[in-house]
Amino acid sequence: MFISFEGIDGSGKSTQARALAHALREDGHDVVSTREPGGSDGAEEIRALVLQGDPERWSAETELLLFTAARRDHLERLITPALARGQTVICDRFADSTRMYQGLSRGDLRTKVDALHEMMIGREPDLTFLIDIDPGLGLARAKGRNGTEERFEDFGITLQQAMRAGFLALAGDFPHRIQVIDGARAPEQIAADILARARLALARHNSTPPPAEVPT
């Protein structure tokens, strides 16, 4: 099963992805933890290109291509083989982030984002946890980390508000895949909520027989 975490910067995705991986391993699942942009050697190199340095370095379109190239490599090298081996993949951000960040942040590129996704990626996670918090809280948390990858956090509160609304709209578009999680609670409380939901989804996923082969 392929599980992703989404939400604005500082919403608690990494914290919760880590907690879920740990809890599912305790349950006996074979879990692969990964993240985007990155997750494979080539995609990690692209991560440095898009998240560090001058924000004006890439046009909006070039940036979209770089994120998509990173995702394609990550899928080919890590995600698809892990799923084929029967492992559970937990990914911190996936294509919903591109729909929001590249789709919204530098002009309306959503049509191009969707077209490129269909052509080059062509798959969604089985389950997505959208951690929803007030952007003021997210920004305060993200700033507290003091990293070198400030690129998108630097866009400020107005953009993060648009992202939050966009993510919630996306949850409406994909109601069977995306579960909205209240991220304003204590980390342990959020983790327990997510674990209960993941266990349920995994039980369902594992009891569903693979589609019957169509005779040729």
Which residues form the interface with ligand ADP (CB under 6 A)? 7, 9-15, 141-142, 144-145, 186-187, 190
Nearer to ligand TYD, 152 or 167 (CB): 152
Q: Give, in order, the Cα–Cα distances in Å from 3 to each of 114, 125, 192.
A: 20, 6, 16
Residues at the interface with ligand TYD (CB under 6 A): 9-10, 13-14, 36-37, 51, 67, 92-93, 97-98, 101-102, 142, 149, 152-153
Q: How far is the CB of 54 from ligand ADP (least distance, A)?
A: 22
Nearer to ligand TYD, 34 or 97 (CB): 97
Q: How far is the CB of 208 from ligand TYD (least distance, A)?
A: 28
Nearer to ligand TYD, 102 or 202 (CB): 102
Which partner from the list ligand TYD, ligand ADP, none does 12 bind, CB cut-off 5 to 8 Å by kind? ligand ADP
Instruction: Give the C-alpha separation, 142 to 132, whole Å.
Output: 14
Question: Which among 140, 178, 129 is positioned nearest to 19, based on CA atoms?
Answer: 129
Sort 146 into a burial class: Cβ within 10 Å, 0-12 / 13-18 / 19+.
Answer: exposed
Which partner from the list ligand ADP, ligand TYD, none does 119 bind, CB cut-off 5 to 8 Å by kind? none
Judge whether 96 and 110 are in contact, CB under 8 Å.
no
Q: How far is the CB of 204 from ligand TYD (least distance, A)?
A: 27
Indicate the DSSP class of residue 6: E
Nearer to ligand TYD, 36 or 73 (CB): 36
Q: How far is the CB of 115 from ligand ADP (least distance, A)?
A: 28
